[in-house]
Amino acid sequence: MTASALVQLVSACVGIMGSLFFAIGIMRQSVEAMGRLSGSYWDWNPNMPPALAAQKADYLFGGGLIVLAFVLQLTSYFVPGVLQMLSPDQGRWVPWVAAAVTVFCFMALRFAASRMAAHFQAQVETWLKNRQSQT
């Protein structure tokens, strides 16, 4: 193994660990925590639940994608190069397909993240209303 390959392997492992900490940090942000951040002593800020919900959804999807990217990078060391088996002429389309799939997946994941954000927002607003009715 070359020094360059070793550094890439170590960076993939460190990237997995870092992105897992990133993802775990936002996963632990509960509905109650978001509700408390949205509230004040007198009332609650109606702009905070949507912002916190969108932030959590984006972080969950982003953190998951970062974990996946590093896992794929790490996996490349265990799987022989499939693309190397293609001749140079046959492999020209690969970057274009990758770019198209990336754009499509980004749009689909943005839609999914907005749906997840709406779900979190509804949970936070329910928590806030229940809290108000208890006082």
pTM of the model: 0.69
CA distances (Å), 130 to each of 97, 120, 123, 127, in order?
A: 49, 15, 11, 5
* Rounded distance between C-alpha atoms, residue 94 and residue 106, angstroms: 18
Asked if the model's pLDDT at residue 101 lies above 90, the reply is: no
Q: What pLDDT does residue 13 have?
A: 81
Tell me the per-residue pLDDT of 43-73, one tens digit each, with 9 for 90 and over.
Answer: 777 888 899 999 999 988 888 888 888 888 8
Query: What's the total number of domains in the chain?
Result: 1
Tell me the per-residue pLDDT of 74-85, one tens digit each, with 9 for 90 and over.
Answer: 777 776 665 555
Q: Domain limits at 112?
A: 3-134
Q: Which residue has the tokens 């907005």?
A: 114
